[in-house]
Structure 1
Amino acid sequence: MYIYVTKEDGLGVVPEALMERFGRGTPAMVLLLDENKKLARTDAKTVLTSIRDQGFYLQLPPTKEESLLDLYKTPTKAVY
């Protein structure tokens, strides 16, 4: 999980309830964003709009898709 904030505001703009769930923040990177910047999981325009409107942008990890390989990880009952 990542929280994008401005360098000036830091985590002070993030609501208390979210920070309780997020835990202690650790700086991961500094980005110079403009609307044309390519990001892996979202577009920069969405991030910038969210930061402008609410002071931060919360990026959650992608949901896990079911895989056929998961079927083989399920423990089976031993029969002799």
Structure 2
Amino acid sequence: MQAYVYKSQRKQDTYVYLAVRDDFSAVPDALMATLGPLSFVLEVALTPERRLALADVDAVRANLAERGFHLQMPPPPVAPVKVPRRRDD
């Protein structure tokens, strides 16, 4: 299965995977408005063996088959680790 990946110009680290190149008809209008302009980044073959950095390939394939698109959002920020202050007695 081929996927066509587009980067949002408005939302940092947000990507839309499409089943058909340049066919945004499956993406809801409200989502398109939120993402702003999209620029083509990559064409990729999504095989079961393929690994993606921030997405589960099976979930991407399922979304493309069912909806025609997959939205990849940035990972949630990691809370800083609080280090207890050392008290000098």
TM above 0.5, yes or no, is: yes
Question: Structure 1 residue runs of 4+, over 4 Å off?
Answer: none
Relative to total residues, which structure has the larger strand share, 1 or 2?
A: 2
Residue type of the alignment partner of 2:72: Q
**Is the radius of gyration larger for structure 1 or structure 2?**
1
Write the deviation string for residues 12-60 of structure 1: whole angstroms up to 9, x where unpaired: 2211010000111100111111122111112211100001111100000
Any stretches of 5+ residues in structure 1 without a counterpart? 70-80
Distance in 1 between residues matched to 2:21 and 2:54, nearest whole Å: 24
Identity of aligned residues (%): 29
Tell which has more relative contact order, 1 or 2 (C-alpha 8 A, sep 6+). 1
Q: Please give the TM-score of this superposition, normalised by the length of structure 1.
A: 0.76
Any stretches of 5+ residues in structure 2 without a counterpart? 1-13, 83-89
Relative to total residues, which structure has the larger helix share, 1 or 2?
A: 1
Corresponding residue for 1:51?
64
Q: Please give the TM-score of this superposition, normalised by the length of structure 2.
A: 0.69
Residue type of the alignment partner of 1:52: A
Corresponding residue for 1:5?
18
